[in-house]
Structure 1
Amino acid sequence: MKILVTGYNGYIGSVMVPFLQNAGHEVVGLDSFLYEGCHFSEEPAAIPSIRVDVRQVEPEHLVGFDAVIALAALSNDPLGNLNAQTTYAINHYGVVRTAKAAKKAGVKRFLFASSCSLYGAGPQDFLDESAPFNPVTPYGESKIRCEFDLIPLADENFSPTFMRCATAYGFSQRLRSDLVVNDLTGLAYLTGQIAMKSDGMPWRPFVHIEDISRAFLAALEAPRERVHLEALNVGQTSENYRVREVAQMVAEVVPGSEATFSDGAEPDIRNYRVNCDKIKAVLPEFKPVWTVRKGIEQLYDEYRRNPSLTLESFKSSRFMRIKRIKELQAEGKLDEELYWKETVQS
């Protein structure tokens, strides 16, 4: 297939693109390049790309593609909370605009990177794809709005699939240190202290970015009737952990590190466990290989291989999305709505 991946130059896309290429697909990227230059040790390999904001995508950008994978989004809760309306403009309007343009251009398949965060403050039970939504952030709400608005676009010629990814972790050359497993492992390696700012009791589902890539590849190659208008929790049911448990695993993997918890801190209201049995049934080709513990070991090894990695760089705008956005705004390169200013666009 010829596939367009929006947001390809980000954390997940930098890993997913090679997966798609290695499976024999032709891949083109579409990105606004907010994180250009924010690489760990080397830039990801270049591929043909279109430099455009998803809020400005036109059908002519998408002519000739068999499928679109929609990764582009403001990618975490702190960034989403920076300006809720801009979050909705990019994560909701931008995705729906891209889908409408894709349909008009004759694209047959549309894989949307949704999120388990739409379950939000869930009950203690495991949540499958039929569970009610209870988002607690603009990021989670934006994913719900997208799913609702993509459904009416579906017909015999246009097939959306909703890939509800668990909390991502794992190594990427476009590393993010603002994800819990990546962050705690970095703190353990660089400081010896895994200092939790909360009691660590909330539940989270976790999935490695390579397994996310495997899931998208399986959905892309599956017969249309299996994935048409389906919502799939992307992960493994066995990979739900309390944040406290993740910290303890990090302490076991990283020598000389210690996890500390703030029992008196305010609890995080984002608390949910997800059931991932459906994706196993719908996509038996999807064979996840990672566990959180293995991911911690991978991250620890990669951090040690980079002699220039310091606590300062780990917590800098290179690896923290909200700091990067604020930095670009302070430099006058991005406006308040996160559009590049014309004077600095490439």
Structure 2
Amino acid sequence: MRVLVTGHHGYLGSVLTPLLQAAGHEVTGLDTDLYADCLLGPAPAEVPNLRLDLRDVRPEHLTGFDAVCHLAALCNDPIGNLNAELTYDINHRATVRLAEAAKAAGVTRFLFSSSCSLYGAGLDDRPLDEQAGFAPVTPYGESKIFSEQGLTALADDDFSPVFLRNATAYGFSPRLRGDLVVNDLTASALLTGEVRLLSDGTAWRPLVHAEDICAAFLALLEAPREQVHAKAYNIGVSSENYLIREVAELVAEVVDGSTVTFAGGASADSRNYRVSCDLIAAEVPGFQPRWTVRKGIEELVEAYQRHGLTIEVFRGERHQRLRRIQALQGAGRLDQELRWTAGVPA
């Protein structure tokens, strides 16, 4: 297929793009490039690139594509809390406009990177399947609900959306995110000797490796349309739900000499949920996840050491998305609407 990947210069996009190419698909990227140079190690091979703000995409940009894998978004809760209205504008309204443009251009498949964060606080202690109610606690989680609803309204015989409700991601990517819990705890352990928890560690969280999320995109892209049309899937493995303190203990086991510590005033995290990923396992046999959290921690330790990562770099703007946004704004390169200012190449 000819596939457009939005956010291809991001954390997941840098893993998904080469995976799709290796499977024989023709890939074009679309990215405003906020994080294009936020690298740990060599950059992935480039693909044809539409350097566009997601909010500016029109049908003519999408002519000739068979499918869209839509990753681009304000990617975490702290950025969402910085300006909630921007989160709704980019993550929800621009997503629906992108889908409308794709449909007008004749694109037939639309894979949307949603999130298990829409389950939010969790409504009970059981693992939540795709029919569970929503209880988002952040604008980011709420924006995913609105997007799924808007995309569902566009679904018909000619346009087929699929919703990938990703568990919390972890694992190495050339454009590493340090604001993800496993990546953060592993760096803290390796580079400071402390597995430092900012919460009391009692919250449940489903976890999934970046490569397994991308494998799910590929499997759903290639799945029969009638099997996956307008469906939501929790992306991960049902056995990979952890208490955050369990993750910290795993990190301490893998990283010799490290100990678990708690930040002063650490309290409970309101995001607390387990999910069931049995539906995708049953309906999409092409999806074969490979990773566990322990293996991911071991991979991260090796990658951090191989690339000479320091704690200063890890906690700086290169690997912390909110700090990157704030640094670009502070330098006058981004305006308050997160658009490049005059003088920055388009």
In the alignment, the residues of structure 1 paired with residue 327 and residue 342 of structure 2 have an alpha-carbon distance, to the nearest angstrom, of 17
Give the secondary structure class of the aligned counterpart of 1:270.
coil
Give the secondary structure class of the aligned counterpart of 1:237.
coil
1:297 aligns with 2:298: yes
1:80 aligns with 2:80: yes
Note if contact 2:3-2:26 (Cα within 8 Å) is conserved in structure 1.
Answer: yes
Aligned to 1:64: 64
Note if contact 1:280-1:286 (Cα within 8 Å) is conserved in structure 2.
Answer: yes
1:38 aligns with 2:38: yes
In the alignment, the residues of structure 1 paired with residue 164 and residue 307 of structure 2 have an alpha-carbon distance, to the nearest angstrom, of 33
1:213 aligns with 2:214: yes
Aligned to 2:140: 139
| Residue type at the aligned position of 1:98 | L
Aligned to 1:175: 176
Give the secondary structure class of the aligned counterpart of 1:273.
coil
How many angstroms does 1:261 deviate by? 3.4
1:120 aligns with 2:156: no
- What TM-score does the superposition give when structure 2 sets the normalisation length? 0.98
After superposition, residues 278-297 of structure 1 pair within 5 angstroms as 278-297=279-298
Unpaired segments ≥5 residues, structure 2: none
Q: CA RMSD in A?
A: 1.0
Aligned to 1:149: 150
**Greater CA deviation, 257-266 or 16-25?**
257-266
How many angstroms does 1:342 deviate by? 2.8
In the alignment, the residues of structure 2 paired with residue 289 and residue 36 of structure 1 have an alpha-carbon distance, to the nearest angstrom, of 27
Note if contact 2:207-2:236 (Cα within 8 Å) is conserved in structure 1.
Answer: yes
In the alignment, the residues of structure 2 paired with residue 245 and residue 263 of structure 1 have an alpha-carbon distance, to the nearest angstrom, of 19
Aligned to 1:48: 48
How many angstroms does 1:285 deviate by? 1.1
How many angstroms does 1:69 deviate by? 0.5
Give the secondary structure class of the aligned counterpart of 1:121.
coil
Note if contact 1:167-1:204 (Cα within 8 Å) is conserved in structure 2.
Answer: yes
- What TM-score does the superposition give when structure 1 sets the normalisation length? 0.98
How many angstroms does 1:121 deviate by? 0.1
Give the secondary structure class of the aligned counterpart of 2:207.
strand
Aligned to 2:7: 7
**Greater CA deviation, 271-280 or 35-44?**
35-44
Note if contact 1:199-1:263 (Cα within 8 Å) is conserved in structure 2.
Answer: no
In the alignment, the residues of structure 2 paired with residue 181 and residue 23 of structure 1 have an alpha-carbon distance, to the nearest angstrom, of 28
Note if contact 1:198-1:263 (Cα within 8 Å) is conserved in structure 2.
Answer: no
Give the secondary structure class of the aligned counterpart of 1:163.
strand
How many angstroms does 1:345 deviate by? 2.8
Deviations, residues 276-333 of structure 1 (Å, cap 9, x unaligned) = 00001110110000000000000000001022x2111010100000000000001111
Aligned to 2:130: 129
1:107 aligns with 2:86: no
In the alignment, the residues of structure 1 paired with residue 49 and residue 330 of structure 2 have an alpha-carbon distance, to the nearest angstrom, of 27
Give the secondary structure class of the aligned counterpart of 2:112.
strand
In the alignment, the residues of structure 2 paired with residue 95 and residue 342 of structure 1 have an alpha-carbon distance, to the nearest angstrom, of 25
What is the total number of aligned residue pairs between the two structures? 345
| Residue type at the aligned position of 1:345 | P
In the alignment, the residues of structure 2 paired with residue 265 and residue 334 of structure 1 have an alpha-carbon distance, to the nearest angstrom, of 33
In the alignment, the residues of structure 1 paired with residue 262 and residue 245 of structure 2 have an alpha-carbon distance, to the nearest angstrom, of 8
Deviations, residues 233-263 of structure 1 (Å, cap 9, x unaligned) = 0000000001100000000001111112369
Percent identical among aligned pairs is: 61
Give the secondary structure class of the aligned counterpart of 2:125.
strand
Give the secondary structure class of the aligned counterpart of 1:5.
strand
Aligned to 2:25: 25
